[in-house]
Amino acid sequence: MSRGLLKEVMTRALHGAVSTYPLNVVIRVSTASIDDQIQTHNFQLITCNLLVTSMKFGQMFTEYLQGENVSSFDSHIDYKRLKKVLKICRHHCLNLNEISNGGIDYHHFQGIEEDRPDNAVSDVCRYQSCQRCDQMFFSEIMKEASDIACCFSSRVRHLVHLHCTTGIQRCLLHLFQCFKNDEQKLAQEGRMLIGYIIMNAIAIKKILKKYDKVHKSASGMNFKSKLQAEHLEISHSPWLIELMAFYMNFNELNHIIDYKLCIPFSCDLTIADSETVLRLVLPGYANLEYNLTCAICLNMVFHPSALSCGHIFCKSCACSAGSVLIFEGLKSASPKMKCPVCREAGVYGDAVRMSELDLLLRRRFKEQWKERLIEEHAEVTKQTKLYWESQTRYITGI
């Protein structure tokens, strides 16, 4: 790093200007002058991705999409194009009625608007809902969010399968690793997926917020609620929790995570106010927190399973709520059974076992996990005994 660039960055740090953008530097400065610190090297550089306020999110997202690690993803939020839709609406909302009626050629109008400077007109549209804007805007976000959710869940499922295989598959995997070690590749894939979901989640949040600002409405936030209801809100996906658990498990065991792959984040698992919380920290943006307390037994989830609505419960608690025995499994529940929290029906058929999260909790809370294991084993034994006794009475007619 050149002396001039280093001095500029340290000046920004002292004045609180450093917040969000890749500079690959973290600076710790003492009270001495910047020039003296540069001369005496009285500072510490730590490799990590810091974000600088001078770069807007749109530019950051564009650079992220141009990275080598993103080329393997088929879907992403087209933030730049959606922003142009809002720009056209903002600049000439008065002419939208004429466009809809065929009085003005839309493509000609769009070309004029792209050449117009941003500060030429007001930043606020006169209408809370623009038909053409909404038609292009919300339908596009819905489609892209659906594609992202599908791509993300399938890749995380495959990643978890490779990491948590059991039986013969696990033996074969270890045998193959004797010839080709893919641990680094798995670690990079996991971190890359977290970066992918973070960037697209932020893009959705920002573009919907911008929509509400332009139209002075709450339609953007209402649409976000609709995405969540359709299970397309990627920041609320149980697969993100599973991926975070994978990241923490892999990092603890192997210590080979490459921190230069994508934007910075950190994951931690803590107990606060008797509740177990999994936290994803995004510097400069937000902290995502996921409560790992079962809503039924009010304890930390044990052998966690996620219903298709996204809510996570202990396996035994979910089986009890679904009126099935533990050894029968959640998928044997009736399609009419509802989620104990949101009351959505038909959520048991696509229930997912959270293997990575279970592994993380087992390692972090060994004593609690052993106690719960003994309790569940006793309950399974009791249920199995009652089940076969009832079957015997049914067959014998006693």
Per residue in 258-315, pLDDT (tens digit) is 444 445 677 888 887 778 899 888 766 667 889 999 999 999 999 999 999 999 999 9
Residues 211, 83: Cα–Cα separation, whole Å: 9
Average predicted confidence (pLDDT) for the chain: 73
State how many domains the chain has.
3
Lowest pLDDT segment from 27-36, 199-208, 234-243, 269-278: 27-36
Our separate counts of H helices and E strands in the chain read 14, 10
Reported confidence tier of residue 385, pLDDT bands at 50, 70, 90: very high
Residue 174 or 270, more confident = 270
Candidates 190, 355, 191, 361; CA nearest to 277 is 361
Instruction: Note down the domain range covering 365.
Output: 292-396
Final residue belonging to a domain, choices 247, 263, 279? 263
Residue 262 or 55, more confident = 55
Pair (254, 379) in one structural domain: no
**Does residue 280 fall inside a structural domain?**
no
Pair (8, 157) in one structural domain: no
**Does residue 278 fall inside a structural domain?**
no
Pair (51, 137) in one structural domain: no
Pair (47, 85) in one structural domain: no
**Does residue 277 fall inside a structural domain?**
no
Please report, for the domain that includes residue 311, its CATH number.
Answer: 3.30.40.10
**Does residue 146 fall inside a structural domain?**
yes
pLDDT of residue 14: 39
Residues 283, 47: Cα–Cα separation, whole Å: 15
3-state secondary structure of 280: strand
Pair (33, 121) in one structural domain: no
**Does residue 64 fall inside a structural domain?**
no
Q: Which residues contact 109 (CB under 8 A, 6 or more apart)?
A: 88, 92, 95, 99
**Does residue 69 fall inside a structural domain?**
no
Pair (311, 221) in one structural domain: no
pLDDT of residue 252: 66
Pair (198, 49) in one structural domain: no
Pair (225, 259) in one structural domain: yes
Pair (20, 84) in one structural domain: no
Residues 341, 296: Cα–Cα separation, whole Å: 9
Pair (170, 223) in one structural domain: yes
Whether the per-residue pLDDT at 21 is higher than 60: the answer is no
Final residue belonging to a domain, choices 263, 278, 303? 263
pLDDT of residue 84: 82
**What share of the chain in percent tops pLDDT 70?**
65
Pair (162, 259) in one structural domain: yes
**Does residue 160 fall inside a structural domain?**
yes
Q: Provide, for the chain, the percentages of residues in helix, strand and coil under a 3-state DSSP scheme, each rounded to the nearest 5.
A: 55, 10, 30
**Does residue 175 fall inside a structural domain?**
yes
Reported confidence tier of residue 171, pLDDT bands at 50, 70, 90: low
Lowest pLDDT segment from 6-10, 15-19, 155-159, 313-317: 15-19
Residues in the chain: 398
Residues 173, 162: Cα–Cα separation, whole Å: 8
- By DSSP bridging, strand 44-45 and strand 51-52 are unpaired
Residues 172, 301: Cα–Cα separation, whole Å: 31
Average pLDDT value for residue range 203-214: 88
Pair (148, 96) in one structural domain: yes
Sign of CA dihedral 386, 392, 397, 398: negative
